[in-house]
Amino acid sequence: MNMMKTVLLMTGLTLLLVLAGSALGGKSGMMTAFIFACIMNIGTYWFSDKIVLAMYGAKEVSYAEAPEIHSIVRELSMRAGLPMPKVYIIDNATPNAFATGRNPEHAAVAVTRGIVSLLTREELSGVLGHELAHIKHRDILIGTIAATVAGAISMLANMAQWSMYFGGRRDDREGGHPVVAIIMMILAPIAAMLIQMAISRSKEYLADEGGAKIAGNPLSLAKALGKLHKGVQMMPMNANPATAHMFIVSPLSGGGFLTLFSTHPPIEERIKRLESMVIY
């Protein structure tokens, strides 16, 4: 059921991109957007891990360079029945982590230096278990494609806005209607964001549950989430909003009304669900 929901959401994102292209550029715009979506989906399948890791300056580390992280990841991978992923460290003081890669055989986990210095071994095991659960569920590829398509929709809307500023308001047989184009410029990025949020939020709950089972202690992950949330609030990360959903907690600072548009479920609810898994 969850996989069907994800397929429908991803289809919705692709159709939204095509509709945006049609509204802004007529038949030619629709075809261009469709081809663009296909190229992006193929490109992100093969290169998503390299793109995201390079974006944050992540450096692959060996066992000799990071023995504790390697030993935790290896132990948890064996428990989860997964191949050993590559291990990366991001030279950033904000505590956070994410996983990337197109499948379990080509996966990587990345942690910031901030998270390594903040968490205990048990708490770090909970976090890495969460990331391995994402790998096992094949969430990371879906999330990266969602981010890419959503970003393309926003970019298309921005291009249309600039085009209209500089005399692109034509209503011919090949171009889109200007009124429809204006509506699409406003609504398409919002719809893309909502679809991206729906994909991300549902996956986080499942990864929390799966990660707690892999690590063997739901309370360790619950404590880690509380620490990470406070750490990010004190020291927000200079992260690309399109990739925010990939981190275990949102790297962006925000509260109040902005939490309604967060790619992550509320920390309080995630902690509550993890605590409910404990059998006394």
> Any idea which residues carry the catalytic annotation?
131
CB atoms within 10 A of CB 80: 19
61: tokens are 């580390």
Please give the structure tokens belonging to residue 192: 């893309």
Burial of 4 (0-12, 13-18, 19+ CB in 10 A): exposed
CB-neighbour burial class of residue 274 (10 A; exposed 0-12, middle 13-18, buried 19+): buried
Q: Which two tokens stand for residue 123?
A: 């708490």
Which helix (H) or strand (E) is 30 found in, with range?
helix 2-55
Neighbours of 23 (CB within 10 A): 27
Separation CA 239–CA 56 (nearest Å): 8
The residue assigned the tokens 């066992």 is 63
Rounded CA separation 141/174 (Å) = 35
Rounded Cα distance, 130 and 271, in Å? 13
Residue keyed to tokens 């609810």: 269
* Residue partners of 148: CB distance under 8 A and separation at least 6: 40, 41, 43, 44, 48, 242
